[in-house]
Structure 1
Amino acid sequence: MNSAHARIAVVGAGLGGLALARVLQLHGRRVTIFECDASASTRPQGGSLDIHADTGQVALRAAGLLDRFRALSRPEGQEWRVVDPVTATVLPVLGPSHDDDSPEIDRGQLRSLFLESLAEGTVRWGRTVTGATPLGDGSWRLLLDDGTTEDADLVVGADGAWSRIRPALSEATPGYTGVTFIETGFDDCDTRHPALARMVGNGTLLATADGKALLAQRNSNAHIRVYVAFRAPHDWQAADVEPGDTAAVRAHLLKMFDGWDDSLLYLLRHHDGAFVNRPVFVLPAPHTWEHVPGITLLGDAAHLMPPVGLGANLAMLDGTDLARALITESSIDDAVRAYENLMLPRSARAAQDCAEALGNLIPPTVS
């Protein structure tokens, strides 16, 4: 199949799938995205992302969106403050940094930037793909939960950690790392929580010790997003905490962080809303598969890694690289092979780096 006339179906309207669609449309190619969410505003999109010069910004440049990204981004958000857990004094330690040009942007803002750039009707909202089956000629049939089907010459699984497309290529499933993040946050922090706002500053505050950490991250619109990280069994809540019981989770966390400075414990005592449990899952690394005509993966569907600042950047770069291959190669199969030959080794290196970063943030317990 000549890639110029291919029916390309992308499953998942995350950053990687949107980057792929945007670059393809810039070059006159047809593409359809199937997304299970009913609309772009169905659910929150998460916190702030640092967009790296050598990955995410490469994708944004290829998508013709770099200038608009620059107008929305927060270069001051790159700042890290590492503080002593007991005294909350700022330590002469550099926080995680990828390069000198990694401005922050809210994930929702970045997603909207891509969505607004696409042709009307590109994303088919409320269409849940449950799997894909080969048709024998290199094309594939998408199976949807409403009983309908859609045929495509190329299916791209961009549907995240629990991808419904991955089983067509790989038997791998995500495994729990032993690390859990609990998320909460503060609204209107500059007015309602001025001391906290000053302590966090424009970027991210980090306190870590004894295999656990508190992070507070400045987002746009005066919001501070908080992450509590620690090692525990996946079902840690079942022991003595009723899931969804905010007061019980708070009491458990305060006991866990006993002895830390009161200004840091403020993050646990006075937040807005509930605590959201986010256990960290990853795919085996390296995650590879034998090439199969007419189907491939990108982003978390291909290489789910710990959330330490690379995932969104790599997803966008994956989408861009696949789009470029489809534009330059003469056939879909040549394009997918070229893309996978580039992406799979890159993701293997990145997975190792991310695993090391998570281990440095939350060191394994030594028995």
Structure 2
Amino acid sequence: MNTPVIAIIGAGPCGLTLARLFECKGIDYVVYERDESPESNRNGGSLDIHGDTGQLALRECGLFDKFMQRARYEDTVFAIADKAGERLLELGQGRDAPEIDRTDLRQILLDSIPEDKIKWGHALKSATPGNDKSPVLRFANDTEFSGFKLIVGADGAWSKVRPMVTRATPMYTGKSFIVSTIHHANPLYETIASKVKAGSSLSIGCGKYIMIQRQGDGSYRISFGLQAPEGFFRNGSVDLQDTEATRRVLLLQFYADWSDEYKDLVRYSTDFCAWPLYSLSPEDMGWESMQGVTLAGDAAHLAYPGGEGVNVAMTDSLKLASKIAEHGVNHIAQAVQEYEADMFSRAIDAITESKAMENVMYSENPQAFVDHICA
């Protein structure tokens, strides 16, 4: 069997956008994904896809019309409130950044790629230089592959490809999300639906926040943004499987002085999931280009999730595919160098802006956030 020219590690929106672009441009590739099948896709909430970045990539993929069938422009509205529930500002109506569930976006991309181009159940253990300097991929299922002209690490925050090009390691931000969902059957659902309606609501106070975001099926995803020690919700300090214990911790240690409408979000939430937040720094951008390897998306420039992540990642895919198509697969090194130079500049801006967003989202009151987004 002939070895594909390019191996993409990771079948998230970044890796799949790149795969679709290669498919359109006639560039040979294979995708390796740790999930056992498409059905094992992990839910990632709702994403806003921006006109000049994510949507541009989808247009180049020939998938914009399919995206528009799922895009939710009514959910661009964004309300900001304090911990007492008083609304300070509502904005975003008509903004060219419609929402789409991550699962829907992934499925649109998956449907556009031949099934045999994605190798499921391939969790990468390591990527190391081989005897001929060509990277060797070793997977948890005891398979091993090499001979690619390029390996693209689109494998997220804890990328196994990243160590081949940089020593940079994500650092804990001191912040975590605890995520839950209020479904239609939840006794609190009608109350939330009547208050939030479409879009999202962000309430900030005392160095923490609560985000309520409507999903494609009408449910509401609740994100409790907290400042907590690394591992606080994962190393046994709090057992998220114990719903009542988790509620007590949230109510007593984090949201004791918030209004009852927010405490009810804790009281009625179930299926808690922890998401500790890590980031690379602007200083991590700028490694020397490595033959046969590059990074894209969170693997390259992990940042606090401020709404730009998927758009920056899809732009990475668009830029990389365009450079390879321009230079040809026999001149991939030049294509990668030019891609990385552009990516570093965009990544520094994205990480810097995400840090500023992080600071105001965890401020003492929502006014700092209002001032930031209205500046």
What TM-score, normalized to structure 1? 0.92
Contact 1:11 1:156 in 2 (8 A): yes
1:283 matched residue in structure 2: 280
Distance 1:180 1:98 in 2: 29
Q: Which structure 1 residue ranges, 5 or more long, are not aligned?
A: none
Contact 2:37 2:121 in 1 (8 A): yes
Q: State percent identity of aligned pairs.
A: 36
Contact 1:286 1:347 in 2 (8 A): no
Of the three residues 93, 118, 125, the one matched with 2:120 is 125
1:345 matched residue in structure 2: 345
Contact 2:180 2:221 in 1 (8 A): yes
Deviates further, 262-271 or 215-224? 262-271
Contact 1:23 1:63 in 2 (8 A): yes
How many residues matched? 357
**Corresponding letter in the other structure for 2:337:** R
CA change 1:75–1:321 in 2 (3 A) is same
Distance 1:336 1:138 in 2: 16
Contact 1:16 1:315 in 2 (8 A): yes
1:181 matched residue in structure 2: 177
Contact 1:189 1:196 in 2 (8 A): no
How many Å apart are 1:284 and its aligned residue?
2.5
How many Å apart are 1:51 and its aligned residue?
0.5
What TM-score, normalized to structure 2? 0.90
1:270 matched residue in structure 2: 268
Distance 2:153 2:13 in 1: 12
Contact 2:204 2:364 in 1 (8 A): no
Instruction: State the Cα deviation string for residues 153-172 of structure 1 (Å, max 9, x = none).
Output: 11000000011101111111
Distance 1:354 1:264 in 2: 26
Is it true that 1:55 corresponds to 2:53 in the alignment?
Answer: yes
CA change 1:99–1:220 in 2 (3 A) is closer
**Corresponding letter in the other structure for 2:272:** F
Deviates further, 140-149 or 59-68? 140-149
How many Å apart are 1:99 and its aligned residue?
8.8
Distance 2:145 2:244 in 1: 47
Contact 1:181 1:277 in 2 (8 A): yes
Q: Which structure 2 residue ranges, 5 or more long, are not aligned?
A: 366-375
Distance 1:283 1:122 in 2: 31
Distance 1:47 1:327 in 2: 33
How many Å apart are 1:94 and its aligned residue?
4.5
Is it true that 1:301 corresponds to 2:296 in the alignment?
Answer: no
Distance 1:215 1:132 in 2: 38
The list of structure 1 runs, each at least 4 consecutive aligned residues, that deviate by more than 4 angstroms after superposition, is 189-192, 237-240
Q: Secondary structure at the match of 2:291?
A: coil
**Corresponding letter in the other structure for 1:205:** S
CA change 1:6–1:286 in 2 (3 A) is farther
2:73 matched residue in structure 1: 75
Distance 1:84 1:231 in 2: 17
Contact 1:52 1:98 in 2 (8 A): no
Contact 1:189 1:197 in 2 (8 A): no
How many Å apart are 1:90 and its aligned residue?
2.3
Is it true that 1:149 corresponds to 2:144 in the alignment?
Answer: yes
How many Å apart are 1:139 and its aligned residue?
2.8
Contact 1:190 1:197 in 2 (8 A): no
Contact 2:76 2:94 in 1 (8 A): no
2:369 matched residue in structure 1: none
**Corresponding letter in the other structure for 2:150:** L
Deviates further, 203-212 or 237-246? 237-246
Name the Cα RMSD after superposition: 2.2
Contact 1:138 1:153 in 2 (8 A): no
Distance 1:284 1:192 in 2: 40
Deviates further, 257-266 or 216-225? 257-266
**Corresponding letter in the other structure for 1:327:** A
Q: Secondary structure at the match of 1:359?
A: helix
How many Å apart are 1:240 and its aligned residue?
5.8
Distance 1:83 1:135 in 2: 55
Distance 2:143 2:48 in 1: 39
Is it true that 1:106 corresponds to 2:104 in the alignment?
Answer: no
Q: Secondary structure at the match of 1:121?
A: helix
